[in-house]
A and B are shown apart, each in its own frame.
Chain A
Amino acid sequence: MVSRRIVLHFPHRLVNQPIIYKLVKEYDLQFNILKAFVTPQEEGLMVLELSGKKENFAKGMEYLESCGVRIQPLSQDVVRNEDKCTNCGVCVPICPTEALVVDPQTRKVLFHNKKCIACELCVKICPPRAMEVSF
């Protein structure tokens, strides 16, 4: 079994195709949509957790790429600008997945990318705006 959080970018021409349906039907993959939106006339974006058998997962990815969907691992999406972060910690109780935690010794805020689901709640509430989104 593999399970990964990924970001899918759908070009405009694919927005009305049942792509996720095929992932389930043809490749027996489970999905949990964390976020999705469609920008009019531009592209669709979906953040999801995808899991299934290793070989099915690989085939599913191949299928997505063959359709023209761009795949990105989720950890790249929210990044912390280390120059801007003051390590105050106001983001910590806002983060739903404990991707942002305070180190009890250094009192610095640690950002665990792997736990981040890119909900972006921290982005606008960060006083020095150190959390940046890069899709």
Chain B
Amino acid sequence: MGNYYQPEIECASREQIRAWQDERLVKQVKHVYDNVPYYRKKMEEKGVTPDDIKSTADLHKLPFITKDDLRDAYPYGLVAVPLKDCVRIHSTSGTTGRRVVAFYTQHDIDLWDDCCARAIMAAGGTNEDVVHVSYGFGLFTGGAGLNGGSHKVGALTIPMSSGNTDRQIQFMIDLESTIICCTPSYAAFLGESIAERGLKDQLKLKSGIFGAEAWTQEMRRDIENSLGIKAYDIYGLTEISGPGVAFECEAQTGMHINEDHFIAEIIDPETGEVLPEGEKGELVFTSITKEAFPLLRYRTKDICVLNREKCSCGRTHVKMSKPMGRSDDMLIVKGVNVFPSQIETVLLNKGYAANYQIIVDRVNNSDQIEVKVEMTPEMFSDSLTEITGKEKELVNALKAMLGIYAKVTLVAPKTIARSEGKAVRIIDNRKLY
């Protein structure tokens, strides 16, 4: 208890949070309507004016905004302040289609840094810590966000960025880093590299803040063991600000959404209807304090559940579950919904590494799914019968989880592209569109 950056906000009463949200939403809707023609047009099409929005109870009346809108309006179409007031941009990794560019005023960056500072303190950080930021710096929000948050906490910040694993480990040992921030796949890779070099004993790490990628509880345990830390989850997206939209506390029963800045809703991804409390659906965010790039009802495509039960950490902000999948990551194979996280869970349960690649293909008009898995010393044997036996068990476990047959291919260690950024988990060769 007590690791708060802004206790008066993080532990505010529900009534207080609601009051902030009501007031800020009304103001934000007006700001957007007055300054963003693209938005005004969308609202007019739906027959909504700022006068219709009197509190958060009216939020559902507003139109959604999606990644397609962001691409349509690229680059300046959604900016709500004069460009002279903007001080920075960030951009999504842009693996599909056009990049999305988000704008920030100095005020926006300050509030974003505050959110990251809350996350760092929730992970046990203080001004006596050495925060090792191995997220990429640049257009990606990861590096800048945690770097800014760490400054706010007053910790000694190492802006490592990603890559050059040997140098990372050297700095970690020499400068006695205590908190590491990076993607979970890079944390797992660092853990393996440190184990290979036999350097775990020389680390001073106590916790890690990992996000920007899907990861499972099993992967969390692997990382915690290999680095000797407690691993915390962090959630965010460039469109809304960056990392720190939500973060985990020591209770680790979900991530607290910074509700003084972001209103969260869960909707049915098919119909767009707001779902009742506790139901699983698509997460939608409204940023109520952003000046430069405020988004109203932005559809994240992340599938999750909100939980308003009182948290043992003392924070009162709503908690979101770890995303259970992304509607755009979701594969439909032979008509069955397949989430990569399901495959990862099976692999870890069966003793394989969480490094895998899913390859989907269409052969003779029929979908085929293949999962490439790296061989591990534990799974290896001189007996082919034993290896193929274990392989068969894995095929059966995948079938039980997914409901369809997936071919398993065992490959040599470190051959699946991983690493320093986001791991390529899915290759869809079907070319259906």
**Chains A and B come from one and the same complex:** no
Residues of chain A at the chain B interface (Cβ within 8 Å): none
